[in-house]
Structure 1
Amino acid sequence: MSKFLLTLHVLVAIVAVGPVTVAASMFPPAARRAGAEEADVGTVRLLHRICRVYAAIGIAVPVLGVATGAAMGVLGDAWLTASMVLTAAAAGILAAFVLPRQDELLDALTGQGSVERRATAQLAMFTGLFNLLWATVTVLMIVRPGSTTGA
């Protein structure tokens, strides 16, 4: 059962978190281009939608992760605890800073047709932090420092 849960956990992480990290990273420069060139905001709108939809699907990643950890008997291991804390931090940054700022920039583009460079730079910073946290979680999941399950 643990192999099945681990497989689902990894697949959902790849399918859900991957698109969020890519689309969120593409959003700030796309918003700047759309604002500067008074171009169609369709790309920006699509990137935001990808982020929202795949973030919702991504909720399955920690759920499956906890189920996998329980099945493997490693819920108390430090590497897993650290991964859960970092995952919660990444989710918090996405929910509190990335998605709301994307909403604000999209509203600005559709309303006034322009965005402030400072706003896109702040969004890029939060997106980079989100991506860095997920990269760290990925490394912890692979290396599993101190694990007795064999890496």
Structure 2
Amino acid sequence: MNAVLLAVHVLAAIVAIGPVCVAASMFPPEARQALNDDPGAASRLPVLARICRTYAVVGVAVPVFGLATAASMGVLMEGWVLVSIVLTLAAAGVLAGVVLPRQRALLEGVGPRDVLVASTGRLAAATGVFNLLWAVVAVLMIVRPGSTTGV
């Protein structure tokens, strides 16, 4: 059962978190191009935002199966798992509290152009933090401090 839970957890991470990281990273430069009156970029922005929103919801499966896997393996209270949980919550907070709302604000395009351009920079920074948090979680999942795999 552990192998099935772990496989579902890893597949969910690849299928759900990967697209959010990529689409969220593409959004700020596309928004800058759209603000420079590039009609192609303007038409891509809603698609990128929809990818982020949809896969953010699907991404809830990652920590759900992660917790189930850790519990079934008896490692739920190990330090690397607890740190991963905290970092996952932080990533979810950045996505839900900063990235998605700023994408929505840019899609609505309310405000002076210079404010919107500055907003793309802040969005890019928040997206970078989101991606970095997930990268650290991925490394923790592979390295697992104190594991018996010898890594």
Both proteins in one fold, TM over 0.5: yes
Change (3 A) 1:9 1:150: farther
Match of 2:49 in 1: 48
Query: Is 1:63 aligned with 2:64?
Result: yes
C-alpha displacement of 1:95: 0.2
Query: Is 1:18 aligned with 2:38?
Result: no
CA distance in 2, matches of 1:20, 1:150: 32
CA contact (8 A) 1:48 1:102 kept: yes
Computed over aligned residues only, the root mean square deviation of the Cα atoms, in angstroms, reads 1.7
1:118-137, aligned counterparts within 5 Å?
118-137=118-137
* Unmatched 5+ stretches in structure 2: none
Aligned length: 149
Identity among equivalent pairs (%): 58
Which residue identity is paired with 2:6?
L
CA contact (8 A) 2:17 2:55 kept: yes
CA distance in 2, matches of 1:45, 1:83: 31
SS at match of 1:105: helix
CA distance in 2, matches of 1:75, 1:148: 16
Give runs of ≥4 in structure 1 deviating > 3 Å: 111-115, 148-151
CA contact (8 A) 2:35 2:117 kept: no
* Unmatched 5+ stretches in structure 1: none
Change (3 A) 1:9 1:67: same
The 10-residue stretch of structure 1 (115-124 or 137-146) with the greater mean CA deviation from structure 2: 115-124
Q: TM-score, normalised by structure 2?
A: 0.93
1:1-151, aligned counterparts within 5 Å?
1-40=1-40, 41-108=42-109, 116-148=116-148, 151=151
C-alpha displacement of 1:20: 0.1
C-alpha deviations, 1:88-142, integer Å up to 9, x for none? 000000000000000000000xx67956221000000000000000000000000
Q: TM-score, normalised by structure 1?
A: 0.93
